[in-house]
Amino acid sequence: MTKRNKIIIWLSSILAVFIIGLVSCIGVSNGQIRRQQEVQTAKANISKEEQRRVDLFRNMV
């Protein structure tokens, strides 16, 4: 192997590791955003259910 081939292999390896790390970070970020939206949806559903129960109670009284 020539010195040039070794340099190309090292640079390719470093670039591959960098790309894998970048894709992993993007995946983690998207996962956090998805979980945050799920929490907001759950809170909205709870709030909606509470309001429904209050309305039912008012109708009974």
Q: What is the DSSP string of 1-61?
A: --HHHHHHHHHHHHHHHHHHHHHHHHHHHHHHHHHHHHHHHHHHHHHHHHHHHHHHHHHH-
Answer yes or no: pTM beyond 0.75.
no
Distance CA 43, CA 51 (A): 12
pLDDT-derived band at 46 (thresholds 50, 70, 90) equals very high
pLDDT tens per residue across span 12-23: 999 999 999 999
Quote the distance between the C-alpha of residue 40 and its chain's center.
Answer: 14
